[in-house]
Each structure stands twice: as C-alpha cells, then as structure tokens.
Structure 1
Amino acid sequence: RADYALFIGNTAVGVIEAKKYEVSVSGAIDQAVDYSKEFEFSGKEVVPVEKYETQDTYKVPFIFSTNGRPYLKQLESQSGIWFWDARNPKHPRRALESWFTPDDLKMKLSAKLEEEANKDLKEDNDYPDLANRPYQIAAVKSIENAVQEGKHRILLAMATGTGKTRTAISLMYRLIKNKRARRILYLVDRQSLASQTANALKDNKVGSQSISSIYGVKEFTDKIPEATTRIQISTVQGMVKRLFSGEKSDEKPSPGMYDFVIVDEAHRGYSEDKEMSDDEMKFYNQTDYISQYRRVVDYFDATAIGMTATPALQTVKIFGEPVYSYSYEQGVLDGFLMDHNAPHIIKTKLSEKGIQFNKDQEVNLFNYDLSRQEKFKMPENIKYDVDAFNKQVITPEFNRAVCDTLAEKFLDPNEPELGKTLIFAATDNHADMVVQLLKEAFVKIGNPVNDNAIMKITGQDRHRDDHIKQFKNEQYPNIVVTVDLLTTGIDVPSICNIVFLRRVKSRILYEQMLGRATRKYKGVDAFDIYDAVGQYDSMKKVTDMNSVMKEKNVSRSIEEYYELAENASDDKAFKEYKTQLVAKLQRKIQRLDDKQSEELENVLDQTNLATWAGNLMAKSSTELQDEAKNVKAIGEYHLKPRTALISNEKDEVTSVTQGYGNDNERPADYLESFNHFIKDNQNKMPAIDLVINRPSDLKIEDLRKIQNELSLHGFKENELRSAWRSTNKIDVAASIIGFVRQAALGIPLESEDQVINRAMSKVYGMTEWGPVQKRWLERIEKQLKENHVLGPNAIEAFNGNQIFKEKGGYKRMKTIFGKQTDEIVRIINENLYA
C-alpha cells in the first residue's frame, strides 16, 4: 500500500489514498511524495499532525481514492478515481475516468467556495433583459435552486419557441457572474445549432455589451478552451471524438475542465432522425446517441443540465424529473406562442384505397444505392396504405394531387403576409419531387413563382447553413421542403403553415415538427396544418400539442366565451371556458398591428395586451367579472379580414376536411358519436333527460349546464351544425336542444329560426297587441334567439333573465300584458318543442 500527497510545485493540494493496488501517478501532477502519517499543509510546508479531519477543519482541499481499476460505469463504485472536493461538502463524491490536470486543480482552487457562490446567486435579483419573461426567470430560478440543493443532474422542459437558448444564456451569465461557474460546456448535436448558439451569444447583450464580449467564448471549431474561456460550444459528436477516439492527449479535455455541462435538445436521438450531414458523426439509433452524450456528461466533474421541449423516458433517467416545465398550452394562453387551427385533412383516391401490387406483377423499383430504376417481379400480393407512401412505395400522382391542391387553395409564395411554409417529406429524393411538383402546380394555375421561392433544405444540401439563413431572414425561400434537418432549434417565426407528406411514429419528432410554427408572427392569429398522410390523427391521443382553441370551426365570439365562463356550472367547466376565452383573446391580439395594439392598450389602460390576457387564467369567477369591460372592448374591436387566393382549377383530391370533436372525426362519424352519446347518457345525465322528456321545464342555467357537459365531451353546437351541413348537404342552424332531441327521439331537425318563428307567430296571433306590447314581444323573441329557452313559467322567465329583471321582471310584465303574461310563456314553450 502507498499513500501520496499531491503537489503543484511545492504546494500540497490533495491526498491520494491507494487501496488494494499500488497506483502509478504521472503526468497529472508535478510530483508525488510518499508519506505514512496524516498531515496538514500551510503555504508550501507539509506538517504531520496526529488527526486529519475533512468535514469541519479541512486543510487539504481535494481527496482521491482509487484501487487502480479503469473506470467502468457498470462497476462505478469499484473502479475509477473517486474524488471529493472537501471544501464543498455538498459537492457529490464521484468516480472520474482520469486524473485532473494541474490546470484543473488550479482552476478549482481559485474558484469561490460553492456555498458562498450559491448565496451570492440567491441574492442576485438581476436577470438580463434578453430572457426577462416571467417563465424564463422562473426557469432560471428553478435551476439555480436545484444547484444550491446540490443536485448534480437537472432537467428543464420548455415548449418549442419559448426561448430555451436565451434562458440558457441568462443562466450561464448569472452562474459565471456570481463565480458559481468558472467554465461551462454547451453541447448541441448539430453544427447548425452550434453556429446558431454562437450567434445568439454575440447578438444578445447585457447593457451595451454582448455575452461573447463579456466572457470568452470558444465555438465548436475550437477543440480546447483557453485559460480565459468561460463558455465553450461543442457538438456531441465532436466531444465524443475528442474524448474517446484516441486523439492526441493535448487535444483531449480533462475531467475538471468544466463546472457545468448544458445539453441542448436533450431528448435527441430518436431513431427516425437520420438527417445529419456527411461530415457529422451519425448515431443510428436512440440508445447509441443517448449513451454517447451520457458518456460525455459522466466524464466531467460537472453539474449537467438537460434542456428539452419534449422530455423522453431516457432523458428523465439521466437528468431526473424536470425542475421546471412550461408547456405549449400555457405558452399559448400567456400570449407567447401561437395556437394552431384544426388540421386540413387532404385525402386522395390513392390515400383512401391504398396501392395494390399483385403476385408476379412486374413493377419499376428505384434503387437508392445506385440511384436508378430497375425491373422487379412481385413475389406476393402486397397492399400499401398511405403511411407507406413516399417511403416503401413512390407515389408521384399522389404527391401531384396534393401539391396541386396546396397551390390552388392554400399556399402562395407571392403573398408574404400569408407566412412561410415548411413541408416534411419522407426522403431526400421525395423532397426533390415535391419541390418540382409545387413549382409546376403554381405554373399550372397561372401563378408562376421565382425559382428560389420553393427550395429543399436537407442534410444533403451542401449550402444548407446559407439557405437556412435565407429562409429566416429573406423573402425567399417562402416554401421549404425538408426531411428532419429543420425539426430542431431552427427559429423562423414567419413559418405559419406545416405540411405533412410523411408519417412519423415518434411523438417527440412530431412535436418538434409542429414546434417550427409555434412562434408568434405579427398579423397571424394561428398557424395551419395540412395533413395528407393522417399524421395529426395518429398522434392526437399521445401529444400535448393539440389546439388550445378546442372548437374546430370556431364561430363563438369572445363575448360568448366570456358569458359561458361566467355562467359555468362548476369549476371544471369554468376552467375549460376560461381557457377557450383566453385562447380566443390571444389569437385576436396576435393579429393586431403596432398601431392597433397601442390604441387598445390606451383604451384598456394596459401596458401589454398579451400579458393582460394571460393573467386572466389565474382569476376567479368573481375577479373575471371585473374584466368584462376590457374583454368586450377587444371583442368588439374591428380587424381587417385576412384573404387568400383560391383557385377553382380541377384537382384529383377527393376531400379536404377539418376534424370534429375530441377525436378529430369525420363529419358523419362525429354525428354518429353524438347520437350514441345522447342515447347512452339520456338516463344518466339529468340535464339531457330534461331536454328530451320535459323541455318546457328548461331554465337558462339548465341549458348552460347541458352545453358545458356536451362541450367537455367534444360536442359543440357550431360543430354539430357544420358536420350536419357537410354530411346532409343541408344548412340547418339548429340549436343544441334540437340536436339532442333529434338524436334521442328521431324528430326532424329544424333551424332555430323556424322553431322560434313558429312559437312567436302563435303569440303574435293571440290578440291585437299595442305598440308597447309589440316592442316587448320583440324583446322576448330576441332573448329566445340568444338563449334558446325562456323559462318553465312566466315568473321564472322574467325574474330569471337579467335583461327582464333589470326592467322590473315579472311584476313589470304583468303591468304590460296583464292576465296574458303567463299565457304567453305557456304558448311559447308548447310550440318551441312541438
């Protein structure tokens, strides 16, 4: 057995306690001195002492223990070089793969004690303006709290578009400023993201200085940081190569080189993500990728922070549960992200029936390896559904039909105000095909576009970095076709249209795709999804990124949502309608230009409309009533309608529909689901039973309760009307009462006007009414059209309705109509539900 004191020059800085095996110490330290007694040091002298205590009276800052075995993760407690920083008791004891260098030890010795730095960090309330949104500050605070608690692995979950990079920059600035970190490694998985991060450090400023000018920053092309370097950016691939591929020792980072490692997009590595450039090291499956960056994280004696919009199981296993989460839905409600409309489902003859190949049929086969077509005889009967299109079977005519429809009805690169479009193709060859077909489609309808208006940007694009910059900053390209390259970290706020021409099975990849369009874009209240392969429907039940504005064909006004929230029958319904109200407000606010925003902010006496709307989510029912005036002001504010060119050119698409209800169903299926729901619940839900069997007893609050119940199950009046019109080719503006009774009793569906006109014609014909009485009858008719019901009797009708109550209620009606007051209500009820 041999024990050693570690020296830098003549200064003892640590202890090696060797167990079981002798250790050979060389290279990492200047010298090793054999000793047999415990000791303390002062200055440059080593003085033996009788007792050595590290907990309270440490004299040697660093403790090492090893048995000589090389580090092995599976036998972590029995291998490697165990290290503990005795000056910082909360610093976790852990096994290292190799020795610290003298520079590592010098850097650690010069660092402020962690406890002292944590205190400074906690007392520092200065958060840079570059990330001063409330949730960004909350995210930084949560990470710093975890650091102060001694956590060594930390996870942050923030929705795409909420500024994870800016949040990370703010965190790095504060950690370095308060000397809690001496040097930080920022890991990304793609060179384009490394460049983007480097640019963000140059562009974002604290005061008048950029972060890069305040702190030394090394980019991913620089292998080893300098002594003054505070932030180093690297790709995971590059760091793996430097650490584990046997490169020169002078280019290999040491275990103590960084105090923090921040892993951007820590979820990455899903198996479908194959689109890296040729000069980037490829990982062919998720396990391989995750294990590699985990090796990097484990190598350094550093606190590791993972950042992602979509935490995956393996991410949580490495970093633990998120210390802070900010969801897509919350971002929409707070006014920082853009909601999406119901998806446009594009179906063609081929997508609906599939493509059938028969045994012994000779077909053309494209050989991707040789880039040529070959003849092939089918060994058996095979049918391909739409999820195999453009991957297992190339379908030019399917793509042509979809591209023609997109060009005719939805997209126009010559109209910048419509926003930009990102199309997800299945392969690089498929992307080429789509670019060409789209250009042909615009020529076909007499709307030719510039050659660079539609472009492919994939891993095979040699000029992809330049093209990404053009996509972000210039008018063209307006439409970009990609595979996976643009799924992560690319910030192009003007993307307002997402097109799916490929099916993916990964929830994480799908959410990253949608995330490309969630950033706010002036004048656009929600982005659109065009789905030709059933992607949205296949992911609807597993993703958290469904539309916050739940109604697919939105017809309710802001005022109506406010009224539904105000009259909600329970807390669940109140929260649901309040959510819809805030989502509707945020959509309208996003469409305001600067002049309109300033005008409304003056009217409402608010400094930021989006923040005001987002704060409504925290208000109680009583507090929400105080905002009625402001809600009404925004609701009544007139906006110019958005327009888009629509062509009537013939195409081969069989249908373009929007989904209905919670399950994104087709119109006929949605109506069938509603019929089943009513029949199955008419004896279970008293409110529904009342509509069916005793409709004349309905009160306004009963109807509100019915609407709330049905809404929570995905059934809304405007959607039922739209689905009925689409299925039966008849426009019947029926009320929810009519739909419930039609489903349960099979009676003909009548429009609301028909029902009310029938009832009121009986009332108008009762007698010769005077002018005052006629005006009051007209008011009754108006209330019927707004509320669908009047009340089970005259007392309930006129005392329960706020409009009549304010005018004197039932007592006033008696002075106007006399004995006929009760008869009017009875006749209305009898004929409303005849």
Structure 2
Amino acid sequence: MDKSKLTETDIITKYILPALAKAGWDNMTQIRQEVKLRDGKVIVRGQMGMRQTVKSADIVLYYKMGMPLAVIEAKANKHDLGKGMQQGLDYAGLLDVPFAFSTNGDAFIFHDKTVAEGEPIESEITLDEFPSPSQLWQKFAAWRGYTSAQIPLVTQDYHDDGSDKTPRYYQLQAINKTIEAIAREQNRILLVMATGTGKTYTAFQIIWRLWKARKKKRILFLADRNILVDQTRTNDFQPFGQAMTKITGRSVDPAYEIHLALYQALTGPEEYQKAFKQVDPNFFDLIVIDECHRGSAAEDSAWREILDYFSSATQIGLTATPKETDEVSNTDYFGEPVYTYSLKEGIEDGFLAPYKVVRVDLDIDALGWRPTEGQVDKYGELIEDRVYNIKDFDRTLVIDERTELVAKTISSYLQRTDPMAKTIVFCNDINHAERMRRALINLNPEQVKKNEKYVMKITGDDDAGKAQLDNFINPKQPYPVIATTSELMTTGVDAKTCKLIVLDQNIQSMTKFKQIIGRGTRIDDRYNKLWFTILDFKKATELFADPKFDGIPEKVIVKTPEEINDLENTQLDDELSEDANTEHDLSESTAANYQAEQDNAKDFAADEGFNDENKFVKYHIAGVEVKKIAERVQYYGANGKLVTESFKDYTKKAILEQYASLDIFVNSWQEADRKQTIIDELERQGVIWKALEQDVSKDMGAFDLICHIAFDQPALTRKERANNVKKRNYFSKYNETAQQVLNALLDKYADLGISEIESKDALKVTPFREMGRPLEIVKNAFGSKAEYDQAIKELENALYDDTHLRA
C-alpha cells in the first residue's frame, strides 16, 4: 500500500483512530469526528442570502460529554506533519482547550499550552506516544487550576436526552466558565449572550449540572414577562419534570426544588404583597435572573429587593444587553461577565442572521413642521406654536399623511419581496400602533380579504391581539403576518421567522435598540429564514455606528444627579420609559404594582408632551404633504459595520481575493477540468450568482460576468459565444449524430449556462430523450464515454477561445 496516495479519510481510519484506541480513548463517548463548530456565515445581497461553507474539526477529544480537551487535524500523507496545525489551533481557541494535534499519519505535532516555561510548546510525538485521556485531563485540570474539592462539580454530567442536540461551542464555554466560577465560590455571575444564541438552554444546562451535583438544591428562575416564564417551563426546562413549578397565587411551595416566577408575582409596593418573604432568606441557594438588564439592575427597584433578600444565594444574571448607564450598572452588581458572546460573533459564525437596512428619510422629518398662527388640530385643540420634528411625530403630533406614507412604504416593500413575510412594526405608543394597523389594512385589501388577521395590533391593552402572539411566533401559522406594537414585543418574543423589522419609534436607548434588533436575528433554515431587513424611518439604525452597539459597554456611574447634563438626562428618560411603558401581563401584576408603573410613566411623560395640569397633549392633523426624500440600502459588512455597497462592488472584492489578476483568473479557467468548480468555489466565498445576474445581466455567463465586473473587460453574452462557435463551422469534423448533440448542448448553454454542458444529467432531458438513453447517445455519436468527455472539453475551449486575448 502506497501511503502517500491515501486520502485524508484513509489516514484517519487506518492510522489516527487506531492510535487513539491504543491510548485508551473511547470511540463512543470521547471521540467525535467531523465536528462542525460554526454554521457558515450568511451573505446577503439584494433579496438573496447564501451560507458560506465552513470546515469541520476532523476530530475533537472529550474527557466526557460537554468537556472538550483537544483537537486533531489530519491531512493526506503527501502533506507535512504540521500542515493542519493553524487550523487546529483555530478550533482549539473556539473550544477554549490548550491542546491541538496535527498529523499526516506518520506521527503527530503536539501543541501544548500547559507546558512549563522554557519547554517547547510544540513537539513531535510518534503514533504510539499519543497521550491517554487521564494524561490530558490531568494536564488540563492543572492548567485550569482545579482543586480536588472542585473536580466533582466541574466534571458533573450535562443533561443528555439522547437526541442530536448538543451545546454549541460558545454555550459550552458559557456553561463551563459559570460552573468553574461557582466551584471557586463566586456568588455573583453575569453571562452576556446575544439574542437568539440560546441563553435559556445555556441556563438550563448550568442549573441541571448544579442541581444534579447537589451543589444547589433549591433554585429560582426569575423573569419579568409571563411569556418568558411559560416558554422556559415548556421548552428548555421540561426535563426538570415534577421537581419544577411556576409560582402563582403569591405563595412559594417548599415541596418543589425548581421554581419559575415573575418578579411581579413575588413582590409589590405593599408589604403583604411581598410573597418572597414567606420563606427564609436562605431558602434559595441559586437564583437565575433572565433579562437582568431591566429591573434587577437598578438599586432602588422593587425587583432588586428580591435579590437582596436572598443575598446568600448564588445569583446568575443573563442578558443580551448589559445595562451601563448614568445610574444603572449590571457589572456594578454582578461583576464583569464570566463570558460574552456578541451579535457580531454570532453572525460571523453563522448562528445568527445578518441584516440589511433600508433607511427611509421623509422631508417632514428632516425639515420639521410648524403650525400657522392660531392653527387648531382636527379636534379643535389649539396647536402650540413651535417647530415639531422627528421626535415629536406620533408622540405629541400625529400627521395622518406621515402615517399613510410609512404604511405605504412597508406595504410596497412586502408586495415586491414577500407579502407573507412575518413583520413587526415598532410604533411610539399604543395609539400609534392602532393607527398603523388601520393604515396597513386599508393598503392591503386583497391580503385582508384572504384573512382578516393579516395585520394585527399586538399590545398589552389588547386581549385579541395578545391572543395572536403565539400564532405570530409559530412558523407553521401563516397569520398574523404583520404585527404593530409599541413595547410588548421588544423582548421575550422568539419569532424565528420574522423577516422584516420596521422602526417608526424614537429609540435612543442602546439596550432597547439591541433588544428590538434581536427580534430578527434568529435563523430558521427550514423556513428559509437566513437574514432579515430593517426598514428604518426614525434614524434609529444610526446606533449601529455607536461603539457600544457590539462592544463592551463603558461603565459610567454618576454619583449625583447634578452631575448629569441635559443630554444625558434625555437619554436616561428614554431608558426609564423602557420600564415605565412596558406593557406587562396585568393578570400577573397587582393593581398597586401597575399603579407604581403608571406613576413612573407620568414622571417620564412630563418631558414628553404633558402640560402643567398633567393632561396629555397630542395634536392630530391632516392635509400636510409628506414625501420621501431619500432611500438607501446598507448591508452588514465584513467588520460588523453597515456598508452602502452594490452587489457588483461586493462581488469584485470577493473575486479579487481569489484571483489577484486577469491572467491568474483566465489561466485558472482554461486549466479547470470543470468550469463549474470555479463557479461553485466563488459561490462558497459569497458570490450569489442569481443576485449578480439581476444586478448586472441575466444574459452573461459566469466567465464574462467575472471578467466584466472584476477586471473591467468587455463582455459577451452566452448567446453571442454560442453563435461564434456555430459561425466557425466548428462541428464539421463530427458525424451527423454528434453534431446534433453538440448543437443541442450549445443551445442549452446559450439559455442557461455552462452547467448545462457539464452536468452528468445533461443527456437525460429534452431534446435528448428523443435520441435514446444517455449511454446509447454517447456510443452512437462519439464511440465511447472518453471521446464524449473530450468532445465536451473541446466545445468549452471553442466557447472561450478568446481567453488568450484577455490574458
């Protein structure tokens, strides 16, 4: 057997796996092959999105499930031993393990970050010297600094339901780092994970391992939305079974170990409403706080009172948006995050959906509007004389024509893309959401006739709307399609198939902006949801340019209110309104708690359109001309920033990364046995051919599109290339049957491209069916398969016989 001719798969099967078995590694529980750590970033241009292909780690070694130790990258024997090391180190970094191995089947290069100072980090070892599981584990445990007392907890089993669902690499890191922190007796822990990355599943695995190890026996999971508690109970937390309960009726039942609760069900402004005080302060030894950027972050909130009461418990805060403002800080309470996984990382890994932004600027928003002297609104209210701007519209001043134009723009976008795309329209308040619902219904009569729930207002005050929330979230339910809302759907709504988010709300809070964007970031391959669009009417997407959007929030705690300037006060008010205006499920709130929220809202409203008598003033006018003055499209760029770029420009960059010059490209094209190989490779790099054809020309083939776009060459259409071959009387050297076949293939090329010639099924379709079976056609026309392949190759050469002139 010539080892140098063995494939990578052969090397793994014949040499690597036997070496691992000899070293004591269990093939069933400790060895996983072809481990796909990333999903493949989605590239979006036009109305199309496509995943880039990603490579898998050849082998990952585990001490036990959920505890990776090392990565092995294998290459064919013709390569050097260390060929796969850099790739292996990349995977080892994702898994946060110190060991990586590279091999070609002759031996291993062993990269060991745990070695003592002065010892080589990389060394060559024989196949027989591969370390055993216990050897790697001992080195790993020492590297992590585990004590003997910590080992039982950090090695506690994950929950395994026998399905294929296993934690992703970043979830493993979050879970393991949290368990390690608790093993070190750290009692305040913060986990920051972008919306859509599985915070609740991560929390479940953390709780499961602590509970099974009996390190934590009574556990409280806290949230501030009823839907969050119910989703958690029926989905990720279901394995807790009879040990779990939801706290209702303002009583804590000590018969259960896992308790799920709304803040509002545990507390209230009156002492008798503080249900959490029914039990001893030491009753819970673990509290997990979902969406901890909201109430629990503020020192004087009623919700913090619960956490302070159970201060002896280990407390874990979960958030996608750690709150760092002038008065509120997550890190001040929980400490620095033990792990952070950002939106940018999620998009780059392909676990989260990228976004396209359509920014629409209206003339009235840019220029403002001022009433004439003595002008009254449509209800006879005298309009205060001042210039009203984008922050006033739909908050203190309603202009019917503006609402109509926004609704018309939304409807037009859906009609030309996908009228059934799940859409959330974020409005300034409930009244705005109702007016937007009405406008959208009137602009989509055909859809509404099919189903009256095509557009629904889903807000906290509307039982009919709230009853449709589950249907909106459910991908299997087509209706409602469009949901107008203000606050209810900003968070806790797992709408995986939401493809359009409309921003017609004044948003200045970074926390709130991140939560709203998170409504679209989930991917659902089954329903072709790979990306989403943000239709922005209020310049909210300018927050994407803020370094705090996907960076670590700067902690800016201010000691006294006097030190906060006017600008900061404005931002603070907006953030406070996020809590004050939240439409809670009142069935789970006390009237007193609701009244306290309304009092907070009134304080906020004093700066937002209330007069001295605390009477809300919202003027309503019609008859104002409103026009769009600009509309531009921006895409999620390579560095995580929005870029304004045509797909043509994007493609040019992608091609030049592969082929630095026209000569290199043309030579590669000429030498390729199959041209489709080059086309497929560029597609893997993010070139979406259908989008490119729409952007440039549907009549050009891939070769001419590339030459024209990337190298500014004159282009020929596929039909022109086909006709050039026919004009040269090229087929005269073949028999009549062969000429008929090649002419038909040439016509196929002119219509559909090079893939029609190179396809293995080319002779199975019309008009070849009338000529006989493919093998018969090949034999009658060309004599043999080899001669047919040669004829196809020569035909391709004839099609591109001008390539030498380009090069």
**TM-score normalised by L of structure 2:** 0.51
Contact 2:250 2:266 in 1 (8 A): no
User: Which structure carries more relative contact order (alpha carbon 8 Å, separation 6+)?
Assistant: 2
Partner of 2:25: none
Contact 2:423 2:501 in 1 (8 A): yes
Letter in 2 for 1:456: K
Partner of 2:222: 187
Q: Which of the residues 500, 504, 507 maps onto 2:503?
A: 500
Partner of 1:378: 386
User: Cα distance 1:180–1:120, how it changes in 2: closer, same or farther (>3 A)?
Assistant: same
How many Å separate the matches in 1 of 2:427 and 2:364? 21
Contact 1:184 1:230 in 2 (8 A): yes
Q: Deviations over 1:310-353 (max 9, x none)?
A: 4566545634334475979769988xx7857x648485xx6367
User: Cα distance 1:738–1:422, how it changes in 2: closer, same or farther (>3 A)?
Assistant: closer
Partner of 1:214: 243
How many Å separate the matches in 2 of 1:654 and 1:816? 57
1:296 aligns with 2:302: no
User: Cα distance 1:164–1:716, how it changes in 2: closer, same or farther (>3 A)?
Assistant: closer
User: Cα distance 1:777–1:471, how it changes in 2: closer, same or farther (>3 A)?
Assistant: closer
Unaligned runs of 5+ in 2: 1-145, 551-625, 759-781
User: Cα distance 1:150–1:391, how it changes in 2: closer, same or farther (>3 A)?
Assistant: same
Contact 2:243 2:256 in 1 (8 A): no
How many Å separate the matches in 1 of 2:321 and 2:735? 68
Displacement of 1:308 in angstroms is 2.7
Displacement of 1:448 in angstroms is 3.2
Letter in 2 for 1:786: I
Q: How does 1:319-398 map to 2 (within 5 A)?
A: 319-323=335-339, 325=341, 339=353, 343=356, 345=358, 347=360, 351=362, 354=365, 356-357=367-368, 361-362=372-373, 373-378=381-386, 384=389, 390-391=394-395, 394-398=398-402
How many Å separate the matches in 1 of 2:733 and 2:503? 64
Contact 1:266 1:315 in 2 (8 A): yes
Displacement of 1:433 in angstroms is 0.8
Letter in 1 for 2:428: A
Displacement of 1:410 in angstroms is 3.2
Q: Deviations over 1:582-609 (max 9, x none)?
A: xxxxxxxxxxxxxxxxxxxxxxxxxxxx
Partner of 2:492: 489
Contact 2:321 2:514 in 1 (8 A): yes
Q: How does 1:436-475 map to 2 (within 5 A)?
A: 436-443=438-445, 445=446, 447-448=448-449, 454-461=455-462, 468=469
Displacement of 1:427 in angstroms is 2.1
User: Cα distance 1:712–1:364, how it changes in 2: closer, same or farther (>3 A)?
Assistant: farther
How many Å separate the matches in 2 of 1:302 and 1:685? 55
Partner of 1:10: none
Displacement of 1:828 in angstroms is 0.7
How many Å separate the matches in 2 of 1:545 and 1:698? 47
**TM-score normalised by L of structure 1:** 0.50
Contact 1:265 1:308 in 2 (8 A): yes
Partner of 1:751: 717
Q: Deviations over 1:33-76 (max 9, x none)?
A: xxxxxxxxxxxxxxxxxxxxxxxxxxxxxxxxxxxxxxxxxxxx
Letter in 2 for 1:435: R
User: Cα distance 1:724–1:697, how it changes in 2: closer, same or farther (>3 A)?
Assistant: closer
How many Å separate the matches in 2 of 1:220 and 1:353? 49
Contact 2:374 2:383 in 1 (8 A): yes
How many Å separate the matches in 2 of 1:831 and 1:753? 20
Q: Secondary structure at the match of 2:210?
A: helix
Contact 1:242 1:251 in 2 (8 A): no
Q: Which of the residues 383, 404, 407 maps onto 1:403?
A: 407
1:786 aligns with 2:751: no
Q: Deviations over 1:72-118 (max 9, x none)?
A: xxxxxxxxxxxxxxxxxxxxxxxxxxxxxxxxxxxxxxxxxx99996
Q: Secondary structure at the match of 1:320?
A: coil
Q: Secondary structure at the match of 1:512?
A: helix
Displacement of 1:485 in angstroms is 1.7
Q: Which of the residues 686, 692, 700 maps onto 1:733?
A: 700
Q: Secondary structure at the match of 1:321?
A: coil
Partner of 1:721: 693
Displacement of 1:432 in angstroms is 1.4
How many Å separate the matches in 2 of 1:545 and 1:711? 30
Displacement of 1:464 in angstroms is 7.5
Contact 2:748 2:757 in 1 (8 A): no
User: Cα distance 1:154–1:355, how it changes in 2: closer, same or farther (>3 A)?
Assistant: closer
User: Cα distance 1:147–1:704, how it changes in 2: closer, same or farther (>3 A)?
Assistant: farther
User: Cα distance 1:131–1:296, how it changes in 2: closer, same or farther (>3 A)?
Assistant: farther
Q: Secondary structure at the match of 1:267?
A: coil
Higher Cα radius of gyration: 1
Q: Secondary structure at the match of 1:499?
A: strand
Partner of 2:566: none
Aligned residue pairs, count: 547
Partner of 1:431: 433
How many Å separate the matches in 1 of 2:465 and 2:745? 65
How many Å separate the matches in 2 of 1:319 and 1:133? 31
Letter in 1 for 2:488: L
Contact 1:194 1:235 in 2 (8 A): yes
Q: Deviations over 1:489-537 (max 9, x none)?
A: 2345565554333363555534433443566779621165361527796
Q: How does 1:480-559 map to 2 (within 5 A)?
A: 480-491=483-494, 495=498, 497-502=500-505, 504-506=507-509, 508-517=511-520, 524-526=527-529, 528-529=532-533, 531-533=535-537, 538=542
Q: Deviations over 1:698-755 (max 9, x none)?
A: 6549999998999899776544433346xxxxx553646546546765x65543443x
Partner of 1:259: 285
Q: Which of the residues 175, 181, 186 maps onto 1:151?
A: 186
How many Å separate the matches in 1 of 2:364 and 2:676? 43
1:230 aligns with 2:257: yes
Q: Which of the residues 759, 764, 786 maps onto 2:729?
A: 764
Partner of 2:157: 125
How many Å separate the matches in 1 of 2:736 and 2:634? 49
User: Cα distance 1:757–1:420, how it changes in 2: closer, same or farther (>3 A)?
Assistant: closer
Aligned-residue CA RMSD in angstroms?
Answer: 6.2
User: Cα distance 1:687–1:192, how it changes in 2: closer, same or farther (>3 A)?
Assistant: closer
Q: How does 1:136-147 map to 2 (within 5 A)?
A: 138=172, 140-147=175-182
How many Å separate the matches in 2 of 1:697 and 1:191? 59
Displacement of 1:408 in angstroms is 6.5
Contact 1:130 1:166 in 2 (8 A): no
Contact 2:427 2:504 in 1 (8 A): yes
Unaligned runs of 5+ in 1: 1-113, 270-282, 547-650, 726-730, 791-806
Letter in 2 for 1:230: E
**Percent identity of paired positions between Structure 1 and Structure 2:** 19
Letter in 1 for 2:430: D
Partner of 2:125: none
Letter in 2 for 1:690: D
